[in-house]
Amino acid sequence: MPMLSGQPLQTSPMNDGDNTNPSDNTHIQDIIDVRLSRRGVLKGGIAASTTALFSGLGLSACGGSSNNRNDTPSLSFDAVAKNLNDVVTVPAGYQVSILHALGDPLTTTDAAWADNGSESADSYNRRIGDGHDGMHYFGLSDAGAFDANRSDRGILCVNHEYVVGPYALHSNGRSAGANRSATEVEKEIYAHGVSVAEIRRGTSGTAMTMVRGSTYNRRVTSATPMAFAGPARGNALLQTRYSTDGTTTRGTNNNCGNGYTPWGTYLTCEENFTNVIGRAAGDNALRSAKEVTALNRYGMTQGRNSPYLWDTAGSDDLFVRWSASVTGASAAEDYRNIFNTFGWIVEIDPFNPNSTPVKYTGLGRFAHEGCWPCKAVAGKPVVFYMGDDSRNEYIYKFVSKALWDAADVGKGHTAGARYMSEGTLYVAKFNSDGSGTWVELTHGKNGLTAANTTYPFADQADVLVNARLAGDVVGATKMDRPEWGAVNPINGEVYMTLTNNSNRVSPTATPTGSQLKPDTANPRYYEDIKGGTTSQKGNPNGHIIRWREAGGDPAATTFAWDIYLFGAEAGAAANVNLSGLTAVNDFSSPDGLWFDQNGMLWIQTDDGAYTDVTNCMMLAAVPGKVGDGSAATAAGGTPTIKGANATEATVRRFLVGPKQCEITGIAMTPDRKTMFINVQHPGEDGSLSSPTSAWPTSQTDATSTKRPRSATVVITRTNGGEIAV
């Protein structure tokens, strides 16, 4: 969602970008400056060197065989115009319906949503949660197993990122006061997490509905028991009063983007967990210097109240665990380490409703946006790409130690333990010449030792719990807020959105604090002018970077990159609208990103810069490939490497959401005839007394005054055909 600030009384200010990287890594601009002065001219230098790089790279082992196509089909719909309407707008020939919204019961026994916040806290263990975000569709066989090819029956897992205050959840919005109401907090704890719901097509058509009362229906919340796996399991850093041996914990929080595994499980990703945990003033004096360094690097400074204030709701363990303050004689007597129990990739087996979700520590701890797998290839490692969504944070990948065996499909957490417990974590460096390096984050290598002066890493668990500090030490490239990633099923290239960054300053400025000069991979500095005044500056509109692994091997340690697309308003100057966007495809702040089975790329926005003109949106794209563009110079004067310009044939707006929403999360049935997208926080700038949206009921009733709610939307063609082609 757009970054909000100075709203401590809101239930969920979210502050997507309020963690900023304070490390002083040598910046990529320094490398450019050196090269510029050495060569005298960069223009042409980039193009020549990248051409050489690209030409040495073959087709990826990662892609190629997940479908029958070797190219992406053409876009076949009429572009949707930008608009500010309070409905989901889709192209002519398409229709929408609502699968589920906040508060809808998963059971047949709980009452329907009453639209007055009267639902009990406990009932949210059986109701759809709030703040719909990432999701994935799993085909469900008659025998109750994962069926990757089934389209008429499935299980949809949906993230519930946060409680959209002050609207829908409580009777009269969030109660005021320094101490929260226990009833309200309990409801919020259960409204976070993930919903798992069986869905089916009807006897005709391709739309789907939720199967209330299905034995597969489940809620995973911020109180659900979970197990740790991987190198940090059992480490002292994960020890709490709940789990004195550091092997288990409770709850998943602020589940933003998502992932999935080749063996048929769901991955949910813990992003802004800083929002639910507080730490008392004076706590530093009760900590080692090393602990304080770690807490501060992740934004958990002492004297920090969480926006949710869950730790103020009473003495019950359900509430006190949200304070990271030292209160006992040891870590086994308090929750000083609670902060370390969040920020992980969590696996849920949708086919086994009683299974215990697992947090895999080997994939590192940071503000995980999502976790996107490469196509699994027999005898090769399983590879996942990940982004840390805060200003100036890093891009990572995990390469499994175990080699893929398709016999593990359907084996749930047993397969998860095999592929996600042991492996190697890498962080990305984007070099100014279009090349890149994956730097290994393994204890004992690359300066990650107990002798390190930035932070003394005790062991591999310490490296993983403090992955950001490890990234600092190895000089990873600070990015403009990495959001979703996606792997092209046709050629294996990897795309990742960089949503925006207000911390970029002019190349001629002297950065202070967490400010950064632009670099070739994050090249923009300009001012977004609204009504004659500067509304935002830095990189307000975001961009999408992509890379091709060396030799087409997902496990490679080098790659070639360019910038696929720059977000911009169509009327912006050419050095801002670098990709040549027009009225049919201009957008700002890309966030959600997904390749469908045909290799069509879907781009979703979470914007606050172009929202004077249009609500957030989703576009469909036929991507090119790394190296199909040219060298360019971004506003502010920084050289960059961009992909081919967008045209109406290659990038086209497919959908515009209702007022003040974010479009996020996407899934499609294997036959490509039923699409799911999520609308998060419609009407987020309003209030109960002064609402600014009535979506989803406004979709069919323009006079509706019902509360706005986050919801999952089902999109089908009226002729029952494949989407977008």
Footprint of Ca ion (CB under 5 A)? 1, 256, 483, 591, 606
The H or E element spanning position 36 is: helix 28-39
Checking DSSP bridges between strand 533-538 and strand 526-530, what pairing results, if any? antiparallel
Q: Please, how many CA atoms are within 13 Å of residue 374, restricted to the half-sphere of its CB?
A: 31
**Binding flag, residue 483, ligand FEO (CB under 6 A):** yes
Nearer to ligand FEO, 188 or 389 (CB): 389
Site for ligand FEO in 593-612 (CB under 6 A): none
Question: Closest distance between ligand FEO and the C-beta of residue 367, in Å?
Answer: 7
Name which of ligand FEO, Ca ion, none residue 347 binds, using a CB cut-off of 5 to 8 Å depending on partner kind.
none
Question: Closest distance between Ca ion and the C-beta of residue 663, in Å?
Answer: 10
Nearer to ligand FEO, 16 or 130 (CB): 16
Size of the site for ligand FEO (CB under 6 A): 7
Q: How far apart are CA 652 and CA 92, in angstroms?
A: 14
Question: Closest distance between ligand FEO and the C-beta of residue 161, in Å?
Answer: 6
Nearer to ligand FEO, 255 or 435 (CB): 255
Residue with the CB atom nearest Ca ion in the bound state: 606
Per-residue DSSP letter, 539: B
Let me know the angle formed at the C-alpha of 517 by 511 and 521, rounded to the nearest 5 degrees.
Answer: 155
Please, where are the H alpha helices in 330-447?
412-420
Tell me, rounded to whole angstroms, the distance of Cα 592 from its chain centroid. 7
Q: Which residues pair with 495 in a beta bridge?
A: 486, 546
Burial class (CB in 10 A: 0-12, 13-18, 19+), 680: buried
Q: How far apart are CA 216 and CA 112, in angstroms?
A: 19
Name which of ligand FEO, Ca ion, none residue 271 binds, using a CB cut-off of 5 to 8 Å depending on partner kind.
ligand FEO
Question: Closest distance between ligand FEO and the C-beta of residue 608, in Å?
Answer: 13
Tell me, rounded to whole angstroms, the distance of Cα 280 from its chain centroid. 29
Nearer to ligand FEO, 545 or 635 (CB): 545
The H or E element spanning position 399 is: strand 395-403
**Binding flag, residue 389, ligand FEO (CB under 6 A):** yes
Pick from 186, 369, 462, 596 the residue near ligand FEO by CB under 6 A.
Answer: 369
Q: What is the 3-state secondary structure (H, E, C) of 431-496?
A: CCCCEEEEEECCCCCCCCCCCCCCCCCCCHHHHHHCHHHHHHHHCCCCEECEEEEEECCCCCCEEE
Site for ligand FEO in 276-335 (CB under 6 A): none
**Binding flag, residue 130, ligand FEO (CB under 6 A):** no
Name which of ligand FEO, Ca ion, none residue 270 binds, using a CB cut-off of 5 to 8 Å depending on partner kind.
none
Within 10 Å of residue 108's Cβ, how many Cβ atoms?
9
Name which of Ca ion, ligand FEO, none residue 408 binds, using a CB cut-off of 5 to 8 Å depending on partner kind.
none
Name which of Ca ion, ligand FEO, none residue 135 binds, using a CB cut-off of 5 to 8 Å depending on partner kind.
none
**Binding flag, residue 270, ligand FEO (CB under 6 A):** no
Question: Closest distance between Ca ion and the C-beta of residue 680, in Å?
Answer: 5
Nearer to ligand FEO, 496 or 621 (CB): 496
Question: Closest distance between ligand FEO and the C-beta of residue 505, in Å?
Answer: 22
**Binding flag, residue 16, ligand FEO (CB under 6 A):** yes
Nearer to ligand FEO, 16 or 722 (CB): 16
Question: Closest distance between Ca ion and the C-beta of residue 543, in Å?
Answer: 14
Checking DSSP bridges between strand 132-139 and strand 153-160, what pairing results, if any? antiparallel
Nearer to ligand FEO, 483 or 549 (CB): 483
Q: How far apart are CA 695 and CA 716, in angstroms?
A: 19
Nearer to ligand FEO, 1 or 494 (CB): 1
Nearer to Ca ion, 252 or 337 (CB): 252
**Binding flag, residue 553, ligand FEO (CB under 6 A):** no
Nearer to ligand FEO, 423 or 542 (CB): 542
Name which of Ca ion, ligand FEO, none residue 188 binds, using a CB cut-off of 5 to 8 Å depending on partner kind.
none
Question: Closest distance between ligand FEO and the C-beta of residue 677, in Å?
Answer: 15
Give phi and psi for 134, each to the nearest 5.
Answer: -60, 155
User: Which string of DSSP letters, residue by residue, matches 151-170?
Assistant: -SEEEEEEEE----TTTSSS
**Binding flag, residue 161, ligand FEO (CB under 6 A):** yes
Nearer to ligand FEO, 270 or 528 (CB): 270
User: Which string of DSSP letters, residue by residue, matches 74-133?
Assistant: PP-SPPPPP---SS-B--TTEEEEEEEETT-BSSSSSPPP-SSS-S-TGGGGSB--SSEE
Within 10 Å of residue 175's Cβ, how many Cβ atoms?
13
Per-residue DSSP letter, 568: B
Within 10 Å of residue 314's Cβ, how many Cβ atoms?
15
Kindly report the length of the chain.
Answer: 725
Q: How far apart are CA 560 and CA 428, in angstroms?
A: 12
Contact assessment for residue 59 and residue 491, using Cβ atoms and an 8 Å cutoff: yes
Q: CA torsion sign, 31 to 35 to 36 to 42?
A: negative
Question: Closest distance between Ca ion and the C-beta of residue 256, in Å?
Answer: 5
As given in the structure block, the two tokens for residue 420 are 């996600």
Question: Closest distance between Ca ion and the C-beta of residue 369, in Å?
Answer: 6
| Short-list 357, 68, 352, CA closest to 229 | 357
Question: Closest distance between ligand FEO and the C-beta of residue 610, in Å?
Answer: 17
Per-residue DSSP letter, 293: H
**Binding flag, residue 388, ligand FEO (CB under 6 A):** no
**Binding flag, residue 256, ligand FEO (CB under 6 A):** yes
Nearer to ligand FEO, 134 or 599 (CB): 134
Question: Closest distance between Ca ion and the C-beta of residue 3, in Å?
Answer: 9
Interface residues with ligand FEO (CB under 6 A) are: 16, 161, 256, 271, 369, 389, 483
